[in-house]
Structure 1
Amino acid sequence: MTNVNAGLRLDNLPIGKFHRRLVVLVGLGMFWDAFDNTLSSAVLASMLPTGFSTLELNSLFLSATFAGLAIGAAFAGWLSDRVGRGFAFQFNLALFAVFALCASVAPNMEVLIGLRFLMSIGMGAEYVICYGMITEFIPRARRGRYLGVLGFFGGLGVSMSALVGWAVIPALSWRGMFVIGGVGALIAWWLRRKMPESPRWLESRGRYEEAEAVMQRIEKDNGAPIEEVGSAPDANQGADTAEEKADWVPITVLFGRPVIRRTLMALTLTVTCLFGSYIITGWMPTFFVKQGLTVSKSLGFNAAIMSGYVVGPLLCALVADRLGRRRSIMLFGTLAAIFAAIYPFMDAPALIMTVGFILVAMAASFLTLCLGTVPEFFPTAFRFRGGGITQTVGRICLIFSPFIVLGLYNSYGILGVILTVSGMYVAVTLLYAIARVDTSREALERIAQEAETGDAPEGPGAMSTRQRESDAAAGPSRSGPSIS
């Protein structure tokens, strides 16, 4: 057997029990990743009065977290493409769960920082793999909705981390937060231990019998007749299968022709969405405290910020498949730029909270769609390494972001910081509109072939492909054969 055609069959498969279970299990991992990632602020603040830590050690704790996240993102991409999605999916979750439990009994801050670094490697990997799993399993026409659902799990983890910290830390100290995060992650690991390997990846590695077995299991689980789902007109048969190559390609393919353009676009989207979200959710309250706006200290202000982080991905679930992911990214990027630009001029408490809520919702929507769409830029053979490298660069940028933000604030005030963020959203939205990165199966097939042979696109076929570049996966491809 050499023609499983897993990509086409997965895109033809109607949403069913398998997909819903997959999204819940992937979402649980995302929830606990976001929970453990966000507990830093409450945990570090509680350590200072007891003398367990200092401001300097707290800063080192945060730097170790960012460094671990960056390394984890790169490691996840390599491990997923080399060993398999399923193994990497479970390994990274177990990694940060075990080290979270170890962190709960750390004897001093120096040991805790080391454990946090190791824990963060697993957390950084989870984001790459979770978004990649949605790309590989969910049909193209419904993918935007489930990316939004996945983002909702992440936003809920952020919110619950703040709420649980408020209740748990006074009663059980900061150690209780690591216990809760570690135990929760281990439960998620146990629940998703039987998730199947990606048939796309199995086919790309030449393991056709295994890929066919997984496909039949998924089709049976969804109650779809295998002979109907697995079949397609002859004109479509080459659309996905040619993308699935059994040869391993080196990571340098991401920076050579013909992939470099989409790699740079993926990097730009990832850096912008992470940087913008980090500043808006992490720094804006501090800026307003500096300006004497006491409302920024209130529970209402924090609730508005956090609820926007939950509501934003739900907006993605509602509109992403109707507009297409490319148009949705442009929409939310534009709205984030507009509300970021007007936010510093709000002075009434009600306006600060309302505009702040909308701004955070738009930034969260932009973040969810960018991180979820980037894996679609690359063929199966190096999809996770493409997503991993872009997130690694994004996380590295976050390591230096506090110094950038403080420099802007000291030189130009809050207006300079927020207008810089607004300008970033404007620039990346315009760039994405012009670039029109093609994520159709036809384009990925061509890129996979060229990456394997090292050939650049040429001739009439390459020109026609460029001319047919489509909206970033607004349902079934408009540039490839219709399979709806």
Structure 2
Amino acid sequence: MTRKAVVLGDEGGENTQNTQNTEQARAIGARLDALPVTSFHHLLAFVIAAGLIVDSVDIAISASIAGALLHTGFTDMNGVAALAMATTLGLGLGGLAMGVLADRFGRATMMRYNMAIIAICGLGAALAATFEQLLAWRGLTAFALGGETILAYGMLTEFMPARLRGRWLAWVALLASVGLPLSMAMAYWIAPLEHGWRWLLAAPALAAMFIFVLRFVLPESPLWLAARARLAAARKIVEQLERGAAAAGKKAPIAPSPASEGRASPDAAPDRSRGFISRFVVASAIHVGAMTAMFGFVSWLPAFFVSAGRDVADSALFSAVMTAGAPFGAAAALWLSDQFERKWMLIAGALGACALGAGYAAAASDQMIMGLGFLTVVAIYFFATVGMFTYVPELFATRVRLRALGGVSAVARGAAFLLPLLIAPLFAAAGQAGVIAFVASVLAAQALLVWSFGPRTKARPLL
């Protein structure tokens, strides 16, 4: 009886301590949300966006590298296929592994290690003496590149005030989109040079070295520290941010009241397994929907137009006009993310893309094809920006946020890997209208899942 009473007493004390830690962690989150935007937030966004640009450039130059490798005889088509598979596998495994490691060892710590891996392995690939060495170094580089997006958006989510979180996440996503045209410009000027493919691999690696040094100015996420019961360290960082705001003449943050410290939002991410699983399914559906729309429709536009009998010049023009809608979609997300509930914006963006895609498929004139195609791409990238980069990181509790994002990314990359196996035969059997119908069905299915199971997140505190 005595021993049982002692055990029960210990459990009660542990539960009380856990409750106190949770309340203090919520108070830290409330202080972060109350902060005004300062130079720290701008620096954080700049350092994260710079890493994402390196990430998108490095991934996007893969096609240019493949062409140069074939042209110089460094490998054949089998080697190019192996390189593509190693890159895809590395991206998926890297996101999953870096998410788990960041939840275990910290966001800022893994962001530094991850950028160091990109720099070292990128230079290793550039200096590879044989194709086997290139394949190994490129796979390791892709491993780190796969983790970069997970780390970047997870870190930014946990620092930005809830009232402005959507806008800042969309803004960084818009900046990161610079990587695609930048990689095209680099390929145009550098790829034709002698050893051009080596310089294409070395350029983002050299940039990564600079960003690696910059990342030492970033503190650890106070929310992660609080989730690990390192409350004193979390409070110290928050106090530094508050003093910085006061020194800059910004409005002093509002201290959270005791009543609000212990009150959780009804839509805050729960620790229950059922809550986690439903949110993981919703997040995976959003990522798969975005990947299907971008890689099943947008990326195939040139092939669609050539197959329809247009010459290469017309195909390039039509594709360029339509894909120019991508930054407009991201900009719309930037403007609207904190104005309306993100759950409903996601559904509206997905269904809008379905409706516009149907109109595009039925268009007869060139003007209607380009106009409706442009608007379809705007809707797709609006949906993708709000969903992948703003809404999904808010769905999970801090203690599991990055491993969840890594798992979702792995699911989406697996879907993207299988997508060409579906699109090519579907286009051969049913044409572009069949492909659009398939993409629309995927978007409609994910909209139904978000409507049924997706929580509201706008201006909600993180746990």
Contact preservation (8 Å) 1:340, 1:421: no
Contact preservation (8 Å) 1:270, 1:391: yes
Distance, in Å, in 1 between the alignment partners of 2:339 and 2:268 is 28
Contact preservation (8 Å) 2:117, 2:141: yes
Pair 1:289-2:311 in alignment: no
Contact preservation (8 Å) 2:302, 2:316: no
What is residue 472 of structure 1 aligned with on the other side?
Answer: 457
Q: Counterpart amino acid of 1:170?
A: P
Change in Cα spacing, 1:341 to 1:65, as seen in structure 2 (3 Å) is farther
Note the alpha carbon deviations across 1:13-36, whole angstroms, 9 max, x for none.
122211111111111111110111
Q: Counterpart amino acid of 1:281?
A: V
Distance, in Å, in 2 between the alignment partners of 1:29 and 1:227 is 31
Structure 1: which 5+ residue stretches go unaligned? 439-470
Distance, in Å, in 2 between the alignment partners of 1:360 and 1:148 is 17
Note the alpha carbon deviations across 1:30-63, whole angstroms, 9 max, x for none.
1110111111122212332332232222222111
Distance, in Å, in 1 between the alignment partners of 2:141 and 2:259 is 48
Shift of 1:156: 0.8
From 385, 400, 406, give the equivalent of 1:382.
Answer: 400
Pair 1:408-2:426 in alignment: yes
Distance, in Å, in 1 between the alignment partners of 2:119 and 2:90 is 14
Note the alpha carbon deviations across 1:267-286, whole angstroms, 9 max, x for none.
11111112221223322211
Note the alpha carbon deviations across 1:404-458, whole angstroms, 9 max, x for none.
22232233222211210111112212321222x33xxxxxxxxxxxxxxxxxxxx
Q: Counterpart amino acid of 2:306?
A: V
Q: Counterpart amino acid of 2:258?
A: D
TM-score (norm. length: structure 1):
0.83
From 176, 196, 206, give the equivalent of 2:219.
Answer: 196
From 83, 102, 121, give the equivalent of 1:61.
Answer: 83
Matches within 5 A, 1:114-153: 114-153=136-175
What is residue 236 of structure 1 aligned with on the other side?
Answer: 260
Matches within 5 A, 1:207-286: 207-223=230-246, 229=253, 231-239=255-263, 256-286=273-303
Q: Counterpart amino acid of 1:229?
A: P
Contact preservation (8 Å) 1:158, 1:306: no
TM-score (norm. length: structure 2):
0.87
Distance, in Å, in 2 between the alignment partners of 1:204 and 1:144 is 22
Note the alpha carbon deviations across 1:66-123, whole angstroms, 9 max, x for none.
1111101101110111000111111112212221121112223333222221111111
Q: Report which stretch shifted further, 131-140 or 355-364.
A: 355-364
Shift of 1:302: 4.8
The aligned length equals 437
Matches within 5 A, 1:172-191: 172=194, 173-191=196-214
Note the alpha carbon deviations across 1:174-195, whole angstroms, 9 max, x for none.
2221111111222222222220
Matches within 5 A, 1:416-427: 416-427=434-445
Change in Cα spacing, 1:350 to 1:234, as seen in structure 2 (3 Å) is same
Distance, in Å, in 1 between the alignment partners of 2:40 and 2:188 is 36
What is residue 10 of structure 2 aligned with on the other side?
Answer: none
Distance, in Å, in 1 between the alignment partners of 2:432 and 2:250 is 59
Distance, in Å, in 2 between the alignment partners of 1:152 and 1:158 is 11
Q: Provide the alpha-carbon RMSD of the alignment.
A: 2.8
Change in Cα spacing, 1:381 to 1:351, as seen in structure 2 (3 Å) is same
Pair 1:355-2:351 in alignment: no
Distance, in Å, in 1 between the alignment partners of 2:305 and 2:323 is 17
Q: Counterpart amino acid of 1:308?
A: G
Higher Rg: 2
Distance, in Å, in 1 between the alignment partners of 2:440 and 2:313 is 21
Distance, in Å, in 2 between the alignment partners of 1:244 and 1:88 is 26
Contact preservation (8 Å) 2:357, 2:440: yes
What is residue 181 of structure 2 aligned with on the other side?
Answer: 159
What is residue 336 of structure 1 aligned with on the other side?
Answer: 353
Contact preservation (8 Å) 1:203, 1:211: yes
Distance, in Å, in 1 between the alignment partners of 2:77 and 2:287 is 30
Q: Secondary structure at the match of 2:263?
A: helix
Pair 1:314-2:337 in alignment: no
Distance, in Å, in 2 between the alignment partners of 1:315 and 1:58 is 37
Percent identity over paired residues? 28
Structure 2: which 5+ residue stretches go unaligned? 1-19
From 46, 50, 70, give the equivalent of 1:48.
Answer: 70
What is residue 417 of structure 2 aligned with on the other side?
Answer: 399
